[in-house]
Amino acid sequence: MTPEMVLHCESCWRKTMIRTVALVFIQVVATAMAAPIALPGCPETCGDITIPYPFGTRQGCYRQGFDLTCDETRHPPKLSVGGGGGAEVVGISIPDGMVRIRTKMLDTSALQQLNGSWSAGLRPDGPLALSARHNRFVAMGCNLLANLVAHDTFYADNIRIGVCAALCVARTALRPGDSSTTSSCSGVGCCQTPVAQGLPYYTIELNDLAQRPAAASPVPVVHGAAFIADGEWFRGQQTALQLNFLHDPRKVVDSTVVPTVLEWSLSMRGDEDLFVEDTSVSQWKRCISVNSVIVEDVEGNVFGLARCNCSSGYEGNPYLADGCQDIDECQRPNVYPCLQGTCINMPGTYQCATRKSISSLPGLITVIAISAGFGVLFSLLGITKITNKLKKRKAKKLGQKFFKKNHGLLLQQLISSNKDIAERTRIFSLQELEQATNKFDKNRIIGGGGHGMVYKGILSDQRVVAIKKAKIAIEREINQFINEVVILSQTNHRNVVKLFGCCLETEVPLLVYEFISNGTLSNHLHGQLKNPLSWKDRLRMALETARAIAYLHSAASISVYHRDIKCANILLSDTLTAKISDFGASRSIAVDDTGILTAVQGTYGYLDPEYYYSSRLTEKSDVYSFGVILAELLTRVTPVFSAHSSERTSLASHFVSLIRDNRLSDILDPHIVDEGGAREAEVVARIAEACLCLKGEERPTMRQVETALEDVQNSRVQLISQITRVNQNGINEQPYKESKDGEGTRLYSLEKELIQSSEIPR
């Protein structure tokens, strides 16, 4: 090689390096340019609060319903919702789709007839609404029943979407430094419950559990407070709030500023200018910003609501045309992504480049020649490989993050420490379950509802399974999934659905059950099936269910109160064997405990009235729910039904009333009579009557119910002697005879109030 050729090659190398450095410099400068937050010419801040579009404080700076007011006469300036009369805004997050505001407590002394409202100045038809995922409805006081009521514009009806009760607590029971009586806020001096539905306006009703009339005195007989607060904030403040409220309620109400979380969404029909459509497939492709995605897209429902966010590797405001700009990972403080070599920022990502030593110039020329010939082909293959590798790496890190968040390490320890659990339960990888369901193909869906979907899958060992996958990541839903894993992994009964394992690598855990092919008992009783269940099968299913509940209460390794026993949670196998499922709301109980105070959960129509009004969960709460199931098996009537008017009626109260009047035949399913099961049905009806006693202490145990149903199935006694034997076992008629003070009538009126309310959060 001549000297001229050597000099020429060195010149080429220097020019190449200069171009590379210039390219990197241009990328750094472009990234350093601030991304727009608001529309041109519009204020971006109010004091130290950032105001991103679609929000704004001036006409033409915001979308309809997103107007805010900045009071610059205040020091510092105050940002508020709407026209200035709304709640103070303390923060707006575009990525989370949240607005944080400050609200006040509602005090009973400020309410008329113990009723008040919560609105924070939000418009009823606006895009802002209370976040059901992040807030809690809290009440503090003595003998206080608090209801959060939403007005359903579709049905023109008021619906209770949050209910809790707070019993009295004596100040003398508190010792300095001892917060054991207040730390849980589970019904003693304080109660809390999730907000089931996010709306801009609510009515708050506060009632006296002692049932003293509010109109008897100009001063309300209930002294308490109610508010809606950010759940994370309340968990950190609840002990101090309860203790201070016991000593000086007025000071707490007047001085406490409550942080509350709002959420917003856009209509893909009314705000279509913010979305870009892929005309080739007639679907929304992205938001108006180039590097953006549509999140929480529920266009499939009748509302068509969605939000926008920047794509991975970009940040900014996706509601502006150039709002999402590249993140320069190489310039992040204290986070240098390349341990070796030089970090080069790329659109949406970065690369780590190392300069290899060049042993000889001829070798470099050879490399350049080869690269020139095959560069195009290998560059395409290389980019694809790098992209896939980065995606896998990010997916792996995300899976590890979710695994820890979902208590995977604790579950691994539980499985490894117990040989029996290890044989029955395992932790599946996400890849296994994707292969089992063909990547969760919609054709594999076999059931589901508001909380999520159930898919049919086939594991690598050819086992057919049902895989439950939740729709959204709410902390309460995740906790219920984990609770179900812990309980079912330690439960082994032929009439309890088997849990094969779970997957913790997703935002919400996936549960893997045995596949039950014949649907639910509710479908067979109330669905449009040609052949109704025979009386023999119904009696056997009742006995199988009773055995499973009795096992959970007294024979399992840990005592479990199911808390949501209902026909929809009883699955039927291909041989019509009953299996109890859905343990998300269940609670494990210590051996020496007879009950616990907890937030009310369950399904109306099945819910124990005593548990509803006291928040005390006992094994007798499951007994009451089972009594409703027995009534359904006998009558094929739903737990809540409409009789001769539009008013809804409780099957439990109606059934017991007919039994008292010896009118079982008025409601008994004619198929039972046709099969000759009327005599046995009368005995089962008496068992159901005992289970539905309004006082929990007068109900039988599930073990007694199991024994009584075994006697009916075996036909060992005649009808009269059977009723006598049932009474001797503690299942008697006494609870249904009206007492002198009319307690039975009063309690049933309470149950009627419960039935007319909305479904308790589940």
Q: State the catalytic residues.
A: 564
Contacts of 317 (CB under 8 A, 6+ apart): 35, 36, 37, 52, 53, 94, 289, 323, 324
The single residue listed with the structure tokens 């708050």 is: 204
Contacts of 554 (CB under 8 A, 6+ apart): 701, 702, 703
Contacts of 96 (CB under 8 A, 6+ apart): none
The structure tokens listed for 335 are: 């986070």
The structure tokens listed for 79 are: 């940002």
Q: Give the Cα separation of 246 and 160 in Å (integer).
A: 27
Q: Distance from first CA to last CA of the chain, Å, rounded?
A: 82
Sign of the torsion angle spanned by Cα atoms 606, 469, 456, 440:
positive
Helix and strand numbers (H, E) in the chain are 18, 39
Question: Following DSSP, what letter does each residue of 11-48 receive, concatenated?
Answer: HHHHHHHHHHHHHHHHHHHHHHSPPP-SSTTS--EETT
Give burial (CB, 10 Å; 0-12/13-18/19+) of 94. Answer: buried
Residue 384: count other Cβ atoms within 10 Å of its Cβ.
10
Q: What's at 493, amino acid-wise?
A: H
Beta strand residue intervals within 590-698, DSSP E: 595-597, 616-618, 640-642, 648-650
Beta strand residue intervals within 104-142, DSSP E: 106-107, 115-118, 128-130, 135-141
The structure tokens listed for 641 are: 């039904």
The structure tokens listed for 476 are: 């309460």
Q: What's at 361, amino acid-wise?
A: L
DSSP 3-state assignment of 649? strand
CA angle 396, 418, 420 (to 5 degrees): 105
The structure tokens listed for 577 are: 């064997």
Q: Give the Cα separation of 472 and 451 in Å (integer).
A: 8
DSSP 3-state assignment of 288? coil
| Residue 584 contacts residue 484 (beta carbons within 8 Å) | yes
The structure tokens listed for 759 are: 């479904």
Q: Give the Cα separation of 273 and 475 in Å (integer).
A: 34
Q: Give the Cα separation of 387 and 104 in Å (integer).
A: 50
